[in-house]
């Protein structure tokens, strides 16, 4: 029977300052630290920025709160249809910004308290790897550990062009001093579409500009088309095949954004959202023989071990799936395996994901195109409907749900949804897809009426 670290600790282990040293206190690093400590390991973690990492400090959490904040534009507009009179309606960016930032600080404190309550020592400085079992803090202190875990996440990258220093990334967007009237967003992925929705709903004019002719490349084409159609009708402008050439600061403080062969446009804020690369700068990986992969990631095996046996990596720095719940699961599984009795490795099939655009879209499994490649013969079901709330609010916007079924087994191998609350609905439906349920199982389930999710069991 497997034993826990506490049961197997030897005098040799005690010669190290810690059993585990984690570099990076984000989603993966905090989970690994807490679980390893609970299993009896002596744990330390170093974080050069704030405890909580991208998701808590400058990602999922503050973004979702801004999405909630911006939804009031539609809700307040709808209110009069329901008999409410809302007088003197106005929006104040500093109030929303500061409330969101205060909540971020609250969660940061909760994360810090979790580390403290598990007796995880934390260092607020950069750490690099000095050897297979040695970490060097920026302050010059050397620390030894039996195991080192790299959980440094990813960092936004800006393409190189003249004037790029005037542009911000998702790191800075939560701190804007004033609300911009005109926003240019480069990129058409998750961050671009989510912030296009937020700025648009809050009243800014938004232009999304991408190097290619697509948005959200990995999602099903029908949903992408629907999102494009709805957001254009809401006033978002798109420029495709149109990378930024240069940005020039104007005398009035705004910027001229130039594109090859096109007229420049004026912007108060230019947000670059062209992907996030593994955060490996200054980590000292070379010194322990860890060679980076093609995308600058730390290559790891199924157990998250690097080519150096005492060093592991989890989360975005491995660039497998850049999603918070994956980093958390990898951190948990790593700690269970290395310091507990766990054996599990992660199964990366059927990971649900969502884009909190307006409307949001959510998906699990194969797109129609990928399913045809994989299964050959498939059946596609869809429901194209106008949510009750939109009908009552006189909005023409329609939701679209699409189900992809393997024709041979009748298993549902893909679900794709765009419409209000689709991420909330998809999470539950993803359980059925992950469990391998069939179209007949969906059909056998009675509809919950009136709801949007009932469309899932009514597709014929
Ligand atoms: P994405 O990978 O989603 O999108 C990048 C966009 O930038 C694409 O439109 C791509 O164009 C374009 N692009 C890529 N490289 C360049 C370049 N060198 N020059 C110009 N354009 C370029 O990245 P994001 O920054 O939006 O998000 C990073 C990651 O963060 C995501 O992959 C996601 O995993 C995670 N995230 C998840 C969220 C969620 O779960 N809701 C929310 C926010 C982020 P092309 O069309 O050619 O591909």
Q: Which of 57, 189, 208, 327 to mutate to test ligand 1, by most ligand atoms within 8 A of the CB atom?
A: 189
- Contact between 378 and 367 under an 8 Å Cβ cutoff? The reply is no
Distance CA 230, CA 200 (A): 12
Ligand 1 atom closest to 60 (CA): 42
- Whether ligand 1 lies within 6 angstroms of the CB of 214 is answered as yes
Is 89 a member of any domain? no
Is 122 a member of any domain? yes
Same domain, 270 and 332: no
Quick one: how far is CA 366 from the chain centroid? 19
Same domain, 39 and 177: no
Residue 1 has pLDDT above 70, yes or no: no
Same domain, 283 and 409: no
- Whether ligand 1 lies within 6 angstroms of the CB of 159 is answered as yes
Residue 5 has pLDDT above 60, yes or no: no
Q: What is the pLDDT of residues 55-64, one digit of tens each?
A: 999 999 999 9
Same domain, 32 and 141: yes
Task: Determine which residue's CA is closest to atom 13 belonging to ligand 1.
Answer: 274
Is 369 a member of any domain? yes
The domain boundary, picked from 243, 259, 274, lies at 274
Q: How far is the CA of 274 from the centre of ligand 1 (A)?
A: 5
The domain boundary, picked from 256, 274, 292, lies at 274
Which pLDDT does position 431 carry in this prediction? 98
Q: How far is the CA of 292 from the centre of ligand 1 (A)?
A: 21
Is 85 a member of any domain? no
Smallest CA-to-CA distance from 287 within 139, 128, 145, 144 is with: 128
CATH code where residue 53 lies: 3.50.50.60
Task: Determine which residue's CA is closest to atom 18 belonging to ligand 1.
Answer: 159
Report the percentage of the chain scoring pLDDT > 70: 97
Q: How far is the CA of 157 from the centre of ligand 1 (A)?
A: 10
Task: Determine which residue's CA is closest to atom 22 belonging to ligand 1.
Answer: 274
- Contact between 202 and 73 under an 8 Å Cβ cutoff? The reply is yes
Same domain, 15 and 145: yes
Ligand 1 atom closest to 193 (CA): 26
Q: How far is the CA of 78 from the centre of ligand 1 (A)?
A: 33
- Whether ligand 1 lies within 6 angstroms of the CB of 325 is answered as no
Q: What is the pLDDT of residues 315-364, one digit of tens each?
A: 999 999 999 999 999 999 999 999 999 988 999 999 999 999 999 999 99
Same domain, 364 and 412: yes
Domain total for the chain?
Answer: 3
Ligand 1 atom closest to 192 (CA): 26
Q: What is the pLDDT of residues 59-110, one digit of tens each?
A: 999 999 999 999 999 999 999 999 999 998 999 999 999 999 999 999 999 9
Which pLDDT does position 223 carry in this prediction? 98
Same domain, 293 and 435: no
Is 65 a member of any domain? no
Q: How far is the CA of 55 from the centre of ligand 1 (A)?
A: 15
Smallest CA-to-CA distance from 324 within 113, 31, 72 is with: 31
Smallest CA-to-CA distance from 71 within 393, 364, 384, 391 is with: 393
- Whether ligand 1 lies within 6 angstroms of the CB of 158 is answered as no
Q: What is the pLDDT of residues 246-299, one digit of tens each?
A: 999 999 999 999 999 999 999 999 999 999 999 999 999 999 999 999 999 999
- Whether ligand 1 lies within 6 angstroms of the CB of 322 is answered as yes
Quick one: pLDDT band at residue 185, thresholds 50, 70, 90?
very high
Report the percentage of the chain scoring pLDDT > 90: 95
Q: Which two tokens stand for residue 46?
A: 């170093």
Alpha helix positions (H), 301-434: 324-339, 368-375, 388-392, 422-434
- Whether ligand 1 lies within 6 angstroms of the CB of 51 is answered as no
Residue 4 has pLDDT above 80, yes or no: no
Distance CA 85, CA 355 (A): 32
Q: What separation in angstroms does the CA of 64 have from each of 113, 212, 357, 360?
A: 23, 27, 10, 11
- Whether ligand 1 lies within 6 angstroms of the CB of 187 is answered as yes
Which pLDDT does position 433 carry in this prediction? 98
How many alpha carbons fall within 13 Å on the CB side of residue 96? Answer: 24
Q: How far is the CA of 275 from the centre of ligand 1 (A)?
A: 4
Q: How far is the CA of 279 from the centre of ligand 1 (A)?
A: 16
- Whether ligand 1 lies within 6 angstroms of the CB of 210 is answered as yes
Same domain, 250 and 107: no
CATH code where residue 421 lies: 3.30.390.30
Same domain, 34 and 151: yes
Long-range contacts of 406-410 (CB under 8 A, 24+ apart): 406/371, 406/375, 406/377, 406/378, 407/375, 407/377, 407/378, 407/379, 408/375, 408/377, 409/438, 410/438, 410/439, 410/440
Same domain, 216 and 357: no
Note the residue count of the chain: 460
Same domain, 127 and 18: yes
Which pLDDT does position 9 carry in this prediction? 57
Q: Which two tokens stand for residue 394?
A: 């006189």
Residues belonging to the active site: 449
Q: How far is the CA of 408 from the centre of ligand 1 (A)?
A: 35
Which pLDDT does position 460 carry in this prediction? 87
Q: What is the pLDDT of residues 219-255, one digit of tens each?
A: 999 999 999 999 999 999 999 999 999 999 999 999 9
Residue keyed to tokens 């004019």: 205
Which pLDDT does position 416 carry in this prediction? 98
Which pLDDT does position 14 carry in this prediction? 80
Q: How far is the CA of 189 from the centre of ligand 1 (A)?
A: 4
Ligand 1 atom closest to 188 (CA): 9
Residue 367, domain extent: 353-457
Is 323 a member of any domain? yes
Same domain, 383 and 421: yes
Q: Which of 59, 172, 191, 238 to mutate to test ligand 1, by most ligand atoms within 8 A of the CB atom?
A: 191
Task: Determine which residue's CA is closest to atom 2 belonging to ligand 1.
Answer: 275
Q: Which of 164, 190, 362 to mutate to test ligand 1, by most ligand atoms within 8 A of the CB atom?
A: 190
Say which DSSP state 394 is in: T
Mean pLDDT of 196-212: 98
Phi, psi (degrees; rounded to nearest 5) at 112: -65, -40
Is 254 a member of any domain? yes
Is 91 a member of any domain? no
Q: Which two tokens stand for residue 331?
A: 């951190």
Q: What is the pLDDT of residues 6-55, one digit of tens each?
A: 455 566 678 999 999 999 999 999 999 999 999 999 999 999 999 999 99
Which pLDDT does position 305 carry in this prediction? 98
- Whether ligand 1 lies within 6 angstroms of the CB of 276 is answered as yes
Residue 312 has pLDDT above 90, yes or no: yes
Task: Determine which residue's CA is closest to atom 36 belonging to ligand 1.
Answer: 190
């Amino acid at each position: 029977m497997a034993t826990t670290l506490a049961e197997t600790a030897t005098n040799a282990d005690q010669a190290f300052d810690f059993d585990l040293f984690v570099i990076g206190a984000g989603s993966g690093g905090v989970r690994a630290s807490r679980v390893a400590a609970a299993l009896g390991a002596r744990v330390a973690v170093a974080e050069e920025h704030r405890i909580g990492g991208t998701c808590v400090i400058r990602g999922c959490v503050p973004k979702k709160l801004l999405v909630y904040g911006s939804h009031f534009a539609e809700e307040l507009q709808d209110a009069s249809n329901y008999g409410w009179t809302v007088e003197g309606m106005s929006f104040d960016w500093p109030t929303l910004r500061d409330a969101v930032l205060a909540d971020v600080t609250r969660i940061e404190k909760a994360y810090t308290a979790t580390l403290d309550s598990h007796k995880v020592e934390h260092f607020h400085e950069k750490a690099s790897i000095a050897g297979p079992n040695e970490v060097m803090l920026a302050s010059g202190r050397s620390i030894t550990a039996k195991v080192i875990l790299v959980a440094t996440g990813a960092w936004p990258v800006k393409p190189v062009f003249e004037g790029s220093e005037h542009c911000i990334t998702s790191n800075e967007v939560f701190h804007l001093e004033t609300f911009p009237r005109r926003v240019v967003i480069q990129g058409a992925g998750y961050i671009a579409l989510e912030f296009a929705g937020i700025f648009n709903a809050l009243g800014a004019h938004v232009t999304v500009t991408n190097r290619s002719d697509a948005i959200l490349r990995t999602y099903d084409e029908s949903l992408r088309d629907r999102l494009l159609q709805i957001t254009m009708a809401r006033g978002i402008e798109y420029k495709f095949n149109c990378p930024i050439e240069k940005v020039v600061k104007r005398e009035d403080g705004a910027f001229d954004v130039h594109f090859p062969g096109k007229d420049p446009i004026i912007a108060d804020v230019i947000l670059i959202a062209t992907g996030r690369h593994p955060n490996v700068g200054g980590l000292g990986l070379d010194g322990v023989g860890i060679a980076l992969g093609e995308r600058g990631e730390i290559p790891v095996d199924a157990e998250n071990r690097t080519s150096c046996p005492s060093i592991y990596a989890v989360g975005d720095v491995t660039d497998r799936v850049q999603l918070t719940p994956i980093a958390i699961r990898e951190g948990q599984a790593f700690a269970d395996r290395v310091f507990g009795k766990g054996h599990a490795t992660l199964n990366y099939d059927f990971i649900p994901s969502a884009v909190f655009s307006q409307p949001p879209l959510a998906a699990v499994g194969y797109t129609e195109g990928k399913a045809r490649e994989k299964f050959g013969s498939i059946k596609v079901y869809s429901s194209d409907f106008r949510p009750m709330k939109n009908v009552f609010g006189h909005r023409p916007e329609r939701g679209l749900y699409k189900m992809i079924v393997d024709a041979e087994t009748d298993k549902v191998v893909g679900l794709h949804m765009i419409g209000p609350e689709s991420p909330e609905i998809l999470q539950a439906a993803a359980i059925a897809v992950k469990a391998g349920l069939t179209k007949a199982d969906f059909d056998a389930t009675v509809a919950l009426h009136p709801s949007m999710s009932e469309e899932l069991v009514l597709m014929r």
